[in-house]
Structure 1
């Protein structure tokens, strides 16, 4: 039940027009400057990402002048992530868009920001997904969008709801920037600490001294190559051990096995470093399970007098360098010899421990921020569900 002063309307009833942007090929008209062209990849949930804007020449654009955007238009992705919507800001007034749906609302009936939020809400997403057309490539068309039923509050309440939700958007955006900054700072710190360009202080307060040793990975760690059990042994009844086959069984750099195997071939222990040995090669994670490892994984553990966390951080730093290590060739897998013959430089055990502690703390700070972000998004989602349906009213 919606509040009595709310008016359930179809989107088509409050829109001047709902049309598709330019659908003809534009590659021949791309230019270094001219008329801006927004594509699906520029449309994010609630905002326009202008990090990769294309331009088309004016001659081409004039052929489609009836499609020009106005500030306040709502753009909705048709394919790929159908339903994802954002409001066109003033800076893109008179720009063009490629294949997205354009909704232009009637004046003084509904706020674009409010309607856009409704389309992006759980209700809007479920409605669009239930009406998606197409096979493997899902899409939403104008006729589906026109029939979206929206419980519409008075304009004053729309403004207040949009303002409240924008506060959450700002908190989410701020946290996302903090996460990105923290990741960049950690990346720079890894480059300095794991190459010896920056030395930390020892327990006496003096910088560590002495040359680092260049060694093969086999000297400082043991690497166990996985071996896949027979598929007939796979089960979901917890019989045997969890099975880690490859990247599909890793989430947020931690093991996340999906099935079990009653036939155990090779094993990893809790705390082992998991290295993907098949495309994409080099992805690093930590095992949180005693598990069976398939042929897509190698389990690595530091030898005595070497620090496991240091080795984990070094392999993280080296992760994007695997292609260069392979001399630039396109490779689908690495073998035991490739891993064991990998060269790295290592300081003393004490310095390894110090470096590992600093980088591990940086990871924990990032994880804390990421958890805060997840909480904010979940809280905003719950609030949207209440505000956009009238279950929770706001004071005007």
Structure 2
């Protein structure tokens, strides 16, 4: 039930919606100081615009194209593949995004005179709007929505423009806190990555460990002469035990960013075979990698259960006592080793683009003493905890803002207005 001074109206009644121009790709210009960027659907990601693959148009351009010039504060929505894993491809044009011109299959929304643009910005960030579009999108080869799908969205609107502005201002302060925390998280992750690259290759040594300064050259860069440089097969062995008729274990899947996960819990549905008799058993304390996708970073460490089941498409191996598993896992998850895996796949005779154990085990790794491995692993784990702490703070801010939006944007919770503004209600 809305407050009596609120309206239930459609997005079409309170916005001016424009879709972009069909710019001819044959006339794209080489970027220079006199060209302008074209705002395409590919440039719209949830919450921001990205310009790493921008297309350009020469200036001066025809007068009829001026209507497609973007302004700061414009809301844009990609109408092709509008919903991705990270959310709705909707963003606000910032000053640093200008100048740019709107391209077809991107919708631009501006508030009408009786509506605050910032209030609309918050409404189009809601889960309700995403769910509305999810129910409207056409399931074709390229899922898409239409301008009318956007216009038909029903929203709650305070009749008092000052109340709209006050709500938008309150929620924008949360946006600022979220943006600050996102930058802090990105910086923390970047610092951890740089630290990993330094200490895992011996470019930087930890205090208390001998560092002569002399290096050993290898095909993949230099390592300290004090370190060993064995093949993986010299310090690890493949495991290939199958379940057979034994009692079943939880089925695990290997992901790029989260390592090994419980398949049912992670995907919320069964994505593995009903018959798991041919699945491999992965005991606690072993490594698992996706034979066909390790070049994408799909490698994990089994510390979830005493035993788990792994698809036959995965490779399992276990290290000996010369290796600290946390050190090796950090090493194999670096971008440097992802590139090494990709090179090994290209050099393999396997036509399916996979890296089987016989080739994987030939890859060399820099290996300091067990004590230094442990020290490196401990330091990186501390860095990982700091990243996780910031990530938890970010998740909490997003949850708190979402809860506040559900109250403020529906009139369930009212904002206080200064007396002079309230008098105009």
- TM-score, normalised relative to structure 1: 0.86
Whether contact under 8 Å (2:80, 2:144) holds in the other structure is: yes
Per-residue deviation, 1:245: 5.3
State the Cα deviation string for residues 204-250 of structure 1 (Å, max 9, x = none): xx6566711111111222232587x89xx9xxxxx711223554xx7
Whether contact under 8 Å (1:9, 1:149) holds in the other structure is: yes
Question: Which residue number in structure 1 is paired with residue 56 of structure 2?
Answer: 55
**Alignment gaps of 5+ in structure 2:** 213-224, 265-269, 418-425
Per-residue deviation, 1:376: 1.8
**Aligned counterparts of 2:143 and 2:346: Cα–Cα separation in 1:** 40
1:321 to 340, 343, 346: 340
Bigger Cα displacement from structure 2, 92-101 vs 302-311:
92-101
Indicate how the Cα distance of structure 1 residues 138 and 201 shifts in structure 2: closer, same or farther if over 3 A, else same: same
Question: Which residue number in structure 2 is paired with residue 284 of structure 1?
Answer: 299
Alignment of 1:12-31 (within 5 A): 12-15=12-15, 17-31=16-30
Per-residue deviation, 1:331: 6.4
Alignment of 1:257-272 (within 5 A): 257-258=263-264, 259=270, 263=277, 265-272=279-286
Per-residue deviation, 1:353: 0.8
Per-residue deviation, 1:51: 4.9
CA-based RMSD: 2.9
Question: Which residue number in structure 2 is paired with residue 236 of structure 1?
Answer: none
* Counterpart secondary structure, 1:8: strand
Alignment of 1:186-201 (within 5 A): 186-201=192-207
- TM-score, normalised relative to structure 2: 0.81
Bigger Cα displacement from structure 2, 63-72 vs 291-300:
63-72
Indicate how the Cα distance of structure 1 residues 218 and 94 shifts in structure 2: closer, same or farther if over 3 A, else same: closer
Per-residue deviation, 1:177: 1.5
Per-residue deviation, 1:334: 0.8
Indicate how the Cα distance of structure 1 residues 349 and 84 shifts in structure 2: closer, same or farther if over 3 A, else same: closer
**Aligned counterparts of 1:225 and 1:158: Cα–Cα separation in 2:** 63
Indicate how the Cα distance of structure 1 residues 121 and 28 shifts in structure 2: closer, same or farther if over 3 A, else same: same
Indicate how the Cα distance of structure 1 residues 343 and 383 shifts in structure 2: closer, same or farther if over 3 A, else same: same
Per-residue deviation, 1:24: 4.0
Question: Which residue number in structure 1 is paired with residue 44 of structure 2?
Answer: 43
* Counterpart secondary structure, 1:129: helix
Paired positions, count: 382
State the Cα deviation string for residues 142-175 of structure 1 (Å, max 9, x = none): 1222222221112212222112212221222222
Per-residue deviation, 1:295: 2.6
State the Cα deviation string for residues 31-76 of structure 1 (Å, max 9, x = none): 3131221122333444434455432113665453332233343212
Question: Which residue number in structure 1 is paired with residue 215 of structure 2?
Answer: none
Per-residue deviation, 1:134: 4.6
Indicate how the Cα distance of structure 1 residues 240 and 159 shifts in structure 2: closer, same or farther if over 3 A, else same: same
* Residue 84, structure 1, aligned to residue 57, structure 2: no
* Counterpart secondary structure, 1:214: coil
Alignment of 1:206-221 (within 5 A): 207=210, 211-221=226-236
Whether contact under 8 Å (1:226, 1:299) holds in the other structure is: no
Whether contact under 8 Å (2:279, 2:312) holds in the other structure is: no
* Counterpart secondary structure, 2:329: helix
2:109 to 87, 103, 110: 103
2:381 to 349, 355, 360: 360
**Aligned counterparts of 1:226 and 1:366: Cα–Cα separation in 2:** 36
Indicate how the Cα distance of structure 1 residues 26 and 243 shifts in structure 2: closer, same or farther if over 3 A, else same: same
Question: Which residue number in structure 2 is paired with residue 371 of structure 1?
Answer: 392
Indicate how the Cα distance of structure 1 residues 326 and 304 shifts in structure 2: closer, same or farther if over 3 A, else same: same
State the Cα deviation string for residues 247-293 of structure 1 (Å, max 9, x = none): 4xx76223222357652642112232222211353522222232122
**Aligned counterparts of 2:54 and 2:276: Cα–Cα separation in 1:** 52
State the Cα deviation string for residues 78-107 of structure 1 (Å, max 9, x = none): 111256333333455663111211223222
**Alignment gaps of 5+ in structure 1:** 234-238
